[in-house]
Amino acid sequence: MRLVFSFHTTPTPFLRIAFRRLLRRAHVVTFVSLAQLAELRTTFRLGGDNRLLRPAVKLRTVTSAEANQFASAYDLDGSSPILMFAGPLEYAEKVAGVVELVRAFRDLLTDYPDARLLIVGDGSLRFRVETEAKDLGESVRVTGFIDNVPAALANADLYCHVSRREGLPTALLEAMSLKRCVVASRVGGIPEVLDGSNGVLVESEAQSIATAIRNLLPNPNRRRDFGEAALRTVERNYTWAARLPQLYSIYGLAE
């Protein structure tokens, strides 16, 4: 039997010594990005077989009916532009990035009074986002968990993954697979995916976020080109077809 331990998010466990002992029992430890591998290998003093195992998303097409149903459910008809974030509101450093996104959005409303920001997700720190957005009324909405995230993402003019700590967010890859133009924080494994040709990297501060968004919104052709390049990136590296050879190798299986 082969024991494989996989990191998806990037934690710093309180019981570091006990956690390190657990990891040392694993035959293979996997990480979703090279940045995560480097950080946690140092944090937990990991030797042994440490490998990159990229996340994978299923390529799919969202129908007009699905997208329209979501838009109607969340009163998006007539709203423009629509900005979106998706992810759990559980980790302080991640939620701090979402709060900065709300602050950037507040500044954008001066020029885009019909804009909407949807935070797709839920968690114990949801209140921090809602507290920051309380003066913005219906222009900012936290949806909670939803069943059809791709239908939500299909409505986004810009997908904004702002965080202060990441491994490599699957929601970012899902948005890219739907040809969304993405703005994302320069943290964790995100710079391993975005190279300036397929999306825009920002610092996790309101001013940097707002500047990037302001540069993109008036230019639909640039946003379209970023979206097309984003899909090509996912097709090349982040599908299940691309991931299967890695899984076979990690688990010692014959292809």
Domain boundaries, the chain: 4-56+239-250, 64-237
Q: List the chain pLDDT tens, one digit each, 255 residues.
A: 789 999 988 776 666 777 788 888 899 999 999 999 999 999 888 888 999 999 999 999 999 999 999 999 999 999 999 999 999 999 999 999 999 999 999 999 999 999 999 999 999 999 999 999 999 999 999 999 999 999 999 999 999 999 999 999 999 999 999 999 999 999 999 999 999 999 999 999 999 999 999 999 999 999 999 999 999 999 999 999 999 999 999 988 755
Structure tokens at 238: 């982040």
Other CB atoms within 10 A of residue 153 CB: 24
Homologous superfamily of the 64-237 domain (CATH): Glycogen Phosphorylase B; (3.40.50.2000)
Q: How deeply is 227 buried, as exposed, middle or buried, from its count of CB atoms within 10 A (0-12, 13-18, 19+)?
A: buried
